[in-house]
Structure 1
Amino acid sequence: MTAPSGLPDGLTTRPLTLADAESVHAVIAAEEEVDLGEAEMTLADVVADWQRPSYDVSARTIGVFDGDRLVAYADHSDVDVAYAAVLPSYQGRGIGTAIAQWLQATARAAGSIRIGTQVPQDSAADRLMRDLGYEARWTAWDLELPPSSEIAARPLPPGFVLRDAEEADRSSAWTLIEDCFLEWSDRDRMSLDDFGARVWGRPGFEPWNLRLLVSPDGEVVGATHVFLAGGSAYVARIAVRPDHRGRGLAPSMLVDAFARAREHGADRCYLSTDTRAGARGLYEKVGMVVASTWVNRAIAL
């Protein structure tokens, strides 16, 4: 692995390992606190992503160190997906440019034809990527259900049931969610093992984190993945089979996820969506409001 070029004198680099996850999270959190006012990414998010069976942490990451302190990192997470962060106190020194060039070279060597990432709109990272020629692909939003909001009941149609997924349901849940997300997402299908690493293999997973919607004939026709992130709950995935849409099922599933999360101590519920999915209006109808706006930027290799 070639080290990034153009770094300030005195900084060193090396590939990262799972043991560095806590330090990486600290860098991400520091950047988010400046850009968003609070940290949203959790340590479990980093671990769940890095423990995917298909992923080789040391081959796909680089850490930038000032002595023993991690001050920046870059991660070629998937074919055209990258993540990076620089401690705010180290920004403006050319580190972001250096690791962006490293990510492009790493992705190109892996056969990727483009590389990009999603960053808070008008953040330092957004401005840097724009200056480096990264073009906007889509706009995304984090929406939240404010802590003071009442959760209005959304009864399901007769015969439909929401329940926790069991181990035997995992393949069905994976198939349904991936089928739905691939309707609008330009990527390859995630393997069951990689999906599981991010869902039931996620640190702290409990049965209520994966909820299934079952039709009167016993078929799984919807699924919701929700988990706690500090004092908040994040709805990471929600999907309804196409032949059951338009019946008000998704709002009922969301309300169920919010209620389960509050039962487990969450004082805030949030999720992410973007212009490709066209679902922002659905979330606003159940009382969610935009908390932050993001831009997904990419560059051709």
Structure 2
Amino acid sequence: MSTQALPRLAVTAGEPAGVGPELLIRLAASEVAANLVAVTDRELLERAASRCGAAIELRDDDGSDIAVRPPGTLRVHHVPLGVPEVPGQPDPRNARHVLATLAEAADGCMQGRYAAVVTAPLQKASINEAGIRFSGHTEFFAERAHADVVMMLASPELRVALATTHLPLAAVPAAITRATLERVLRIVHGELRTKFGLADPRIAVLGLNPHAGEGGHLGREELDTVIPLLDTLRAEGMQLLGPLPADTAFVPAQRTRYDAVLAMYHDQALPVLKSEAFDRTVNLTLGLPFIRTSVDHGTALDLAGSGTADPASLIAAAKLALTLAKSEKRVKRSEK
């Protein structure tokens, strides 16, 4: 790739019956400065463009570089549907199509054909109804790349990583082990350096219990697990704050002290992030050997086919993928 070439972003359309194809069309109509390659069915995109009333020029992807992408142009790596989509009605017969798009995007990144992958939302239930075990994008990419991963959500103002993800609240305390926290913190620390270009990242670690356990009076997880680990990692040179009480960790005075937050469970920090910047929040997977960003919303089946879904989150995901790709390239050059 020449220095003038635009980064090639693989963009998957997600659930064919959801809003993903229409969001991808809106992304193509934007001025995002990337060589966008839609990894999906070409005719699906043509129908989505018609529903959006958008004039989009679709071109077969030949793998070549471009220096400029005029808004309204989109390259396509064609992956055929199983059956034509019906907006709002996911069909399990398209499950293998969805998985094939993810496989192409991941493999293409690992082979150097794409700089990053950006994913539109998919319908997990539809894939499972096809008899295929599937728990989500993150797990699929982790297995494909044989990688240990961490979920992070980021807006322009805040980055939040999760020690645990989609667990019942009752199961969270048992999942907060020294080994789990060490694994997550090492991944987050490393990725803040390589992907975000932070030479010495500062990470705020939230306590599990109210008031971060209040010296053991409101729970001992902080005393028995969190604090000893943080002390060990600080001795290695990591800048770690905490454990901090979650109810005050996000006030403006605290935010100036850190570059990212590690939350103990899903709903501990994400309501803060989403209430501030829902349309600008991006889901990204740390620990992969490639960059993966995604929207932070679902398939919106009730809006599918209307052409009215808001593309802001997908556009934000594409822009963050570009930023991370450029940062990662700078870091790699500086390490040579």
Calculate the TM-score normalised by the size of structure 1.
0.30
| More strand per residue | 1
Calculate the TM-score normalised by the size of structure 2.
0.27
